[in-house]
Copies of this chain bind each other. A is one copy, B any other.
Amino acid sequence: MVESNRNPHDWTVPHGRGLQSLPRMAAMDATELRELGQQFRVDSVRCAAAAKSGHPTSGMSAADLMAVLLANHLRYDFDTPDLPANDRLIFSKGHASTLLYAMFRAAGAITDEELLEYRTFGSMLEGHPTPIIPWVDVATGSLGQGLPYGVGMAIAGKRLDRLPYRIWVLCGDSEMAEGSMWEAFEHAAHYELDNLTAIIDVNRLGQRGETMVGWNTGVYVERARAFGWNAIEIDGHEPEEIDRAYEEAAGIPGRPTVIVARTIKGKGVKAVEDKDGWHGKALDDPDAAIEELGGIRNISMDVAKPDAAEPHRFETRELELPRYDLGEEVATRKAYGEALAALGSARGDIVALDGEVSNSTFAEIFKKEHPERYFEMYIAEQQLLAACVGLQARGWNAFGSSFAAFFSRAYDFIRMAAISRVNLRLTGSHAGVSIGEDGPSQMALEDIAAFRAVHSSTVLHPCDANQTARLVATMADTDGIVFLRTLRPNTPVIYDADEDFPIGGSRVVRSSDDDDVTIVGAGVTVHEALKAADSLEEEGISARVIDAYSIKPIDAQTLQAAAEATGRIVTVEDHWPEGGLGDAVLDALADGDERPRVLKLAVREMPHSGKPDELLSAYGIDAAHIAAAARQLVGAEVAAS
């Protein structure tokens, strides 16, 4: 068994731009590193053989890259994964999980038995890494996400924690085709993230054949440099080259570094080496492969720990949420910005990010008050979401905002954030046809459905400014994926500033003992529902109005009580008919004792440009249409009785 830390060894950095050679203690030498790389390959083969699935050949190409990292560069306390000063390692190529798990074994974090339970039900070593593993911060497996997460973490390190930890991201070459990687490249350079190192494992072969770039590693170098990075081209199977590259990466100020490593997929086993058709498959003859790789090894090591250090903390004062007067006309998006700024003053962990529309979402109010904790993500919604995930994973409470419609651009990141078990706070403005003239491309009409269908999500849609402010404060302590949907137009304040709005609650904004029908709205349609109730009253129809500001979880109890009391329900939403408020109401009543007739009003045609009121009317969700629906329901029941 090779013990760690026994050969203090110095290397110089021949191509470091004027950097001094740094003496290093306790580094493994090339021979030891090669052995460790072989161990990782053997363990990859063994894992996949036991599971009869997995991606061993994708782990084998990057084995030497990770051997050098683990032995000589990573600073990580495996006993205290939450240690603020720890480096972070992200496998952006999450399918190479066998390699990551082999590293855990070498670090003494898991046993050989645990390793071989890979992909079995009940093992934390899933097909792709997730944070149910203590040493994994973010889930990967949807390609092109690890590097953008790394950008978020590196921003945390440099600008918020202000600690010298490094973020190491192992990328596949196939995933370099994902646009999100280039969003990450641009933002990392813009934010001068010299604490971020990307390692591209250029093994040439994707799942079904060669990548567009193949082994033309110079292409990645040129692209990275054009995006403002330091780039180093190496042979990814030469420990000394790898070691020098990491050393250089750590020493370049003001710029992130990418190490473009030429590697061989399936390296070390002739039957699969550099061969198509071996992606995502266990090897045919694992015993022969292990023998060819020199047999099972049991190298273990104490991975170097970081120096103790405490993260920076921002000053705070008491919370003073904005307060709005009853009847005042305020856009909920404006209340979002003002509430978030207030929350930021009271809590040092609050951070805001926006996708180049902060003067529309009003995140700019936060920016003005807390410039150190505001990060502009430009028109790059994937990076916006990924930065939120990365910041959350480092303990910061990140609020992301954009037009609600444009979160659809990052839906895969939202889906994956749920698998990462991070808490996301997202606010989407300009919901629905109520935005008016800008037209359908800017109108979120599918956002409630999309967010409801994310695991662990909460979907909030306030209708007035005081409600918004309270919900923003609540968001900061709500677990899971929290989405707040705000409105472009001003709406009247109907709630007192001291009212509370718990998650899962609702407000019965109008009711009597003998209501004939219940109208359930949220956001702009609450105000239309109230107008409808007024006009219905003139006709002798009494309508209960429920403000379902918490669409998920929805207030089933209040809905069931309304169903019992009024027997008929109209739901009305500025959203497509599928998956939104109406469906949430139906779900809440699906297996209850009272299953009333429910009429769903929603936008059913592709909207055009026009004034907000024209559009609410044209698409059947204004007061007149609500009243007509209520009349129809009441009439139907009367006719049937």
| Interface positions of A (Cβ within 8 A of B) | 51, 53-54, 94, 119-123, 126-128, 130, 132, 139-144, 174-175, 177-183, 186-187, 190, 206-209, 211-212, 219, 222-223, 225-227, 356-360, 364, 376, 378-383, 405-406, 408-409, 411-412, 415-416, 418-419, 421, 436-442, 445-446, 449-450, 452-456, 552, 576-580, 582-584, 586-587, 590-591, 595-600, 606, 608-611, 614-615, 618
Copies in the complex: 2
Chain B residues with CB below 8 A from A598, complex form: 590-591
Q: Is the CB of A94 within 8 A of B223?
A: no
Nearest 5 pairs of A and B residues by beta carbon: A179-B179, A141-B441, A121-B610, A579-B579, A449-B453
With the chains together, A211 CA to B456 CA distance in Å?
35
Q: Is the CB of A582 within 8 A of B577?
A: no
With the chains together, A438 CA to B251 CA distance in Å?
38
Name the one of B360, B416, B583 contacting A583, with C-beta atoms under 8 angstroms: B583
Name the one of B142, B180, B212, B580 contacting A378, with C-beta atoms under 8 angstroms: B212
Chain B residues with CB below 8 A from A360, complex form: 207
Chain B residues with CB below 8 A from A126, complex form: 439-440, 608-609
Given A177-B183, A178-B179, A223-B227, 11 more pairs with CB closer than 8 A: A121-B610, A175-B379, A177-B379, A177-B380, A207-B357, A212-B378, A406-B412, A408-B415, A586-B587, A590-B597, A591-B599
CB closest chain-B residue, reference A579: B579
Q: Is the CB of A606 within 8 A of B223?
A: no
Q: Tell me, rounded to whole Å, the shortest Cβ–Cβ distance linking A560 to chain B.
A: 13
With the chains together, A467 CA to B289 CA distance in Å?
42
Q: Is the CB of A121 within 8 A of B618?
A: yes
With the chains together, A414 CA to B174 CA distance in Å?
23
Q: Tell me, rounded to whole Å, the shortest Cβ–Cβ distance linking A89 to chain B.
A: 18
With the chains together, A269 CA to B531 CA distance in Å?
45
CB closest chain-B residue, reference A552: B578
Q: Is the CB of B439 within 8 A of A127?
A: yes
Q: Is the CB of B578 within 8 A of A453?
A: yes
Q: Tell me, rounded to whole Å, the shortest Cβ–Cβ distance linking A411 to chain B.
A: 4
Q: Would you mind naming 24 contact pairs between A and B with Cβ atoms under 8 Å apart?
A: A51-B437, A54-B437, A126-B608, A127-B609, A128-B441, A142-B441, A144-B379, A178-B179, A179-B179, A186-B212, A190-B212, A208-B358, A219-B226, A222-B225, A406-B412, A408-B411, A409-B412, A446-B453, A449-B453, A583-B583, A583-B586, A587-B600, A591-B597, A591-B600
Q: Tell me, rounded to whole Å, the shortest Cβ–Cβ distance linking A147 to chain B.
A: 11
Q: Is the CB of B226 within 8 A of A418?
A: no
With the chains together, A49 CA to B415 CA distance in Å?
42
With the chains together, A359 CA to B281 CA distance in Å?
13
CB closest chain-B residue, reference A421: B606
CB closest chain-B residue, reference A378: B177
Chain B residues with CB below 8 A from A419, complex form: 440-441, 606
Q: Is the CB of A123 within 8 A of B183?
A: no
Q: Is the CB of B211 within 8 A of A378?
A: yes
CB contact under 8 A between A609 and B121, given known A53-B437, A579-B453: yes
CB closest chain-B residue, reference A450: B450
With the chains together, A456 CA to B227 CA distance in Å?
39
Chain B residues with CB below 8 A from A378, complex form: 174, 177, 206, 211-212
Chain B residues with CB below 8 A from A222, complex form: 225-226
With the chains together, A437 CA to B456 CA distance in Å?
22
With the chains together, A583 CA to B584 CA distance in Å?
8
Name the one of B53, B178, B439, B595 contacting A130, with C-beta atoms under 8 angstroms: B439
Chain B residues with CB below 8 A from A212, complex form: 186-187, 190, 378
CB contact under 8 A between A590 and B579, given known A127-B438, A609-B126: no
Question: Which of A119, A177, A580 is packed against the most chain B CB atoms within 10 Å?
Answer: A177
Q: Tell me, rounded to whole Å, the shortest Cβ–Cβ distance linking A111 to chain B.
A: 19
Q: Tell me, rounded to whole Å, the shortest Cβ–Cβ distance linking A584 to chain B.
A: 8
CB closest chain-B residue, reference A416: B441
With the chains together, A419 CA to B441 CA distance in Å?
7
Question: Which of A141, A143, A412 is packed against the most chain B CB atoms within 10 Å?
Answer: A412
Name the one of B207, B376, B439 contacting A141, with C-beta atoms under 8 angstroms: B439
Q: Is the CB of A450 within 8 A of B411?
A: yes
Q: Is the CB of A379 within 8 A of B578?
A: no
CB contact under 8 A between A582 and B578, given known A141-B439, A450-B446: no
Q: Is the CB of B580 within 8 A of A590?
A: no
With the chains together, A454 CA to B575 CA distance in Å?
10
Chain B residues with CB below 8 A from A437, complex form: 51, 53-54, 119, 127
CB closest chain-B residue, reference A609: B126
With the chains together, A584 CA to B440 CA distance in Å?
24
Q: Is the CB of A587 within 8 A of B583?
A: yes
Q: Is the CB of A452 within 8 A of B579?
A: yes
With the chains together, A141 CA to B583 CA distance in Å?
29
Q: Is the CB of A128 within 8 A of B580?
A: no
Q: Is the CB of B418 within 8 A of A606?
A: yes
With the chains together, A179 CA to B226 CA distance in Å?
15
